[in-house]
Chains A and B, each alone.
Chain A
Amino acid sequence: MTYELEKIKTLWDIPKEEHLVGGHSLCAGCTAATIVRHLLKVAGKNTIVVNATGCVEVSTTSFPYTAWRVPWLHVAFENAGAVASGVESAINALKIKGEIPVEKEINVIAIAGDGGSFDIGFQALSGLMERGHKVMFVIYDNEAYMNTGIQRSGATPFAAWTTTTPVTRRIRGEWRNKKDMFDIAIAHGIDYVATANPAYPVDMDSKFQKGLSKDGPSLVHVIMPCTTGWRFEPKYGITIAKLATETAVWVNMEYDVGNFSVTVPVKKRKHVREYLKLQGRYSHLSETEIELIQEQIDRKVEEINKRAGKEVIGPLEA
C-alpha cells in the first residue's frame, strides 16, 4: 500500500503535503499541475518520478530550479516507459544485493503527456506493460502536442482544431478519431487500467492509489483540459473537465483484474454542445458537425452500458 494512506473516500482524506510546489511555469490554470499535485500526494515521498519531455517536464525543471520534492528523472520524449523499466529493475536488483532494504517500498511513476504515451512514447509504454514492471504510468492527456505549440497527436479527438489540423478550406480540424488507450492497455494484460478526471479528485486519487498498490504495471489516463491549446479562459479548466464527464465525452472507467466498471456514473447526460461551446478549438463546428459528434458519443455510451451490464451512463437530458 502507498505508505500508510487510508483509502481515499473524501476530499479530507487527501494528504496535505505538497510534493509539486508552486513557482513553476505551467500556464495559469493548467490542470496538469492539479493532476500531478494529487498524484504525488497519493504516492508520497518514497516515489521516483520518470517524466517524459512535455509541458510538465519543461515547466517544472528549468535549471537551476525544480518544483519537485521527490527524486525525478527526465531522459527524453519517447522513453518514459523504458527509463521507468530501468529504474524499477534497478530497485529490484539493488534489493537483491542488499543495497536497498527489501522492505522499503518505493513507488515508480512514469508521467507523460499524450505525445509521450500515445505516439512517440507508445513503443516504450507497450514494452513496459508487456514486461510487467511494477510501474504506474500516468498520462495527462491534453489531446495534442501542447508543449511544442498545439500540434495534433494520436489523442486529438474528432473535429478539434490544432495547428497541424487547422480550420481551412480543405481541412476542418482533425478528421480522425482518438486512439483508444484504455483497451490497448487492457490488451497488454496488465492488472489495472483507469481513466480519470481532475474534476473528480476523489475518484482520480483513489485510482492513483489503486494503481500504485498493484504488483505490476498500471495505467491511469487522465483528461487534462488545456487553457492554451483548447482555447478557453484559464478559470474554466475544471468546469470543462466536469462537462467532459457530464456529456460522456470522457467516461471515468476502471479495469481491475478483469472487472470493468464505470466509476462515475452519469444519470442524465448533457448534450455535447455544452462541452464544445466553451472551447475555441471547436468554435468552427456547424450544427451538423456537432450532431455528428453527439451521435458518436451516443454509440459509445451504448457500448459502455453493454460492457458494464447496466445503464451507467444515462440518456441525454431533455
Chain B
Amino acid sequence: MVLGLETKKSELKPLSTNKAVAEAAKDSNVDVVAAYPITPQTTVVERLAELIGEGELDAEIIHVESEHSALSAVIGASAMGARTFTATSSQGLALMHEILHIASGLRLPIVMSVAARALSAPISIFNDHSDIMNQRDTGWIIIFTSSAQEAYDTIIQAYKIAENSNVLLPVMVAYDGYVMSHTIEPVEVLGKKVAEEYIPKKVSWNRLDPDRPITIGTITSPDYYYEFKYAQAKALESSLQHILEADSEFKKKYGRGYGAVEGYMMEDAEIAVLGTSSYFSNLKYAVDELRKKGVKAGAIKLRVYRPFPREQLYELIKGLRALGVIDRSISYGMTPSGPIALDLMSTYRYKNIPPIQSFVAGIGQRRMLIEDFVRIYEILERRASSNSINEETLFYGVKGIDI
C-alpha cells in the first residue's frame, strides 16, 4: 500500500480560496477527483494535481473532457464507495445541470466546490451568483462561504453532512470567483488528521459490489417516481439539522463554527441588509460606518441556502424595521427579480416580518465599494421611512438608472 505523506499538524498558510479548497479536499482524504478547468476555478484542480503528484494525497485524478463528464465520472466513482470531489464555475456548472439532478436523485454524497461566476451570454468570467442560483432546485445542499478559511472548513464539513446516512445528498460549496478564489487570506490548514477524527468514511450509500450486486439508476413509472422525489425533498429539508450538527461538532473540535446564518450587530439593529459570500464582509464595514453616524444598522449573512434556514433567519429579522436583500443574480420575468428576496418574501408570507426591499447588485462583478453598500442602507432607510418599500427589485449600479 502506498502511503501519502502525512501532514498531521495544523499549519497557518497564506492561501487563496481555490488553494484552500484543494487543501480541504486533500485533508478529507478524497479517493477520486474529476474536474475540467474553467476560469476562475482552475487553480483548485491544478493544486490537487500537484498534491497527488507529490504523494500528499492518494487519489485518482481523472482528466475528463468536459464538466458533464466530470460529474458523471464522480458519480461512477461515488457509486463504487469512493469519496469524491469535483470543482467548477459558471458554464461548467450549467453544462453539468442534467447530471446534478441525477447525483441528488441517486442520493450520492458528492462534494463540489463552485467558484461562482456569471453565466453567458454575453460571456463574463467575473463573479456573480447566476450560476449557483440556476441550480437551486437540483436537490443539492448549497452553502455559501465568505472566507478562504470558511471554504476550507466547509468542504470538510460537507463530507460529514453528505455521507451522513440520514442525509446522503450531494453538497455544493460556493464562494465568489476571483474576489475570493484568487485572493490570498490566512488559512489554518488542519492536516490529514481531520479525515480520521472528524470524517472517517463509512459507506452507507448505494454501492456497486460484485459480492452484493444491486441495480442503481432504474427507470420508474408514474406508479413509483413520486415517492422517490418526495423522499428526496424530505431528506433535503431535514438535512438542516445535520448541517448544524456537523458545524457544532467541527466547532468543538477545531474552534470554528459558522451556523446557517450569521448576524453582525443584529442584537439591536433596526435596519439590516442580507448578503451572501464575500458581500457579507463588505456589509460589516458598511455597518461600522453607519453605526458611527448613529444608524442602528446590522448585517446578515445567509450561509446555508438550500435547505433554507427559515427559523434561524427569522430570529434575526423578526424585530427589524426594514430588511434589504442583495441578490447577485436575476430571476428574469419575476417580481421581485432577486431569487433570495423572492424566497424570503414567500417563505415568511404568513409570519410577521419587516418590509423587505429587494436589491440586485454586483452582476458580472460590477464594482461595489464600501460607499456603495452604505448607499444601499441609505436607500433602504429612505424607503422604509417613506413606506415605499414594495416587491419591485432595485437594480443597483446599472448605467442610466437612478435609485
Contacts and interface: CB of A to CB of B under 8 A. Distances in A.
Given A90-B60, A94-B31, A79 B69 contact: yes
Given A50-B76, A94-B82, A82 B64 contact: yes
A76 interface: yes
A68 B102 contact: no
B81 A75 contact: no
Given A85-B62, A94-B80, A64 B72 contact: no
B69 A123 contact: yes
Nearest to A45: B210
B60 A75 contact: no
Which residue among B72, B98, B99 has the maximum number of chain A CB atoms within 10 Å of its CB?
B72
Interface residues of A, number: 49
A144 B349 CA distance: 52
Contacts of B210: 45-48, 70-71, 106
A69 B62 CA distance: 29
Nearest to A130: B65
Contacts of A66: 215, 218
Contact of B99 (A46, A71, A79, A123): A79
A83 interface: yes
A89 B32 contact: yes
Contact of A73 (B1, B62, B74, B76): B76
A183 interface: no
Nearest to A79: B72
A75 B59 contact: no
B157 to A, nearest CB: 22
A76 B71 CA distance: 11
A84 interface: yes
A99 B58 CA distance: 13
A9 to B, nearest CB: 27
B266 interface: no
B80 A96 contact: no
Contact of A82 (B73, B78, B106, B221): B73
A97 interface: yes
A61 interface: yes
A77 to B, nearest CB: 9
B102 A75 contact: yes
A71 B209 contact: yes
B213 A123 contact: no
Given A50-B76, A90-B81, A98 B1 contact: yes
Contacts of A94: 31, 80-82
Interface string A232-267: 000000000000000000000000000000000000
Contact of A89 (B34, B99, B212): B34
A99 B65 contact: no
Contacts of A63: 218-221, 224
Taking residues whose C-beta sits less than 8 angstroms from the other chain, chain B's interface range is 35 or more
Given A91-B80, A94-B31, A82 B69 contact: yes
Interface in B168-227: 208-210, 212-221, 224
B302 interface: no
B224 A64 contact: yes
A92 B2 CA distance: 12
Nearest to A50: B76
B208 to A, nearest CB: 4
B216 A74 contact: yes
Given A45-B210, A48-B210, A86-B72, A74 B80 contact: no
Interface in B75-92: 75-82, 84
B66 interface: yes
A46 B215 CA distance: 14
A70 B58 contact: no
A89 B35 CA distance: 13
Contacts of B98: 76
A170 B78 CA distance: 50
Contacts of B82: 89-90, 93-94
Given A83-B73, A83-B76, A90 B217 contact: no
B13 interface: no
Contacts of B382: none
A278 B230 CA distance: 49
A57 interface: yes
B70 to A, nearest CB: 8
B301 interface: no
A62 B102 CA distance: 17
Contacts of B70: 82
A37 to B, nearest CB: 16
Contacts of A143: none
B68 interface: yes
A182 interface: no
A123 B70 CA distance: 12
Interface string B36-78: 0000000000000000000000111011111011101111111
A5 to B, nearest CB: 16
A73 B77 contact: no
Given A82-B69, A123-B69, A73 B217 contact: yes
A219 to B, nearest CB: 17
A130 B69 CA distance: 14
A294 interface: no
A93 B60 contact: yes
Interface in A150-184: none
Contact of A90 (B77, B99, B213, B220): B77
22 contacts: A47-B210, A48-B208, A48-B210, A63-B218, A63-B221, A66-B218, A71-B212, A79-B72, A82-B73, A82-B76, A83-B76, A86-B84, A89-B34, A89-B62, A90-B82, A97-B1, A97-B58, A123-B65, A123-B66, A126-B65, A127-B65, A127-B66
Which are the 10 A-B pairs with shortest beta-carbon distances?
A86-B76, A74-B217, A86-B73, A82-B69, A90-B80, A127-B65, A79-B72, A71-B208, A90-B77, A82-B72
Interface of B: 1-2, 31-32, 34, 58-60, 62-66, 68-70, 72-82, 84, 98-99, 102, 106, 208-210, 212-221, 224
Interface of A: 45-48, 50-51, 57-58, 61-64, 66, 68-76, 78-79, 81-94, 96-99, 106, 123-124, 126-127, 130-131
Given A47-B210, A94-B31, 10 more contacts: A45-B210, A46-B210, A82-B72, A84-B76, A86-B62, A89-B34, A89-B76, A94-B80, A98-B1, A123-B66
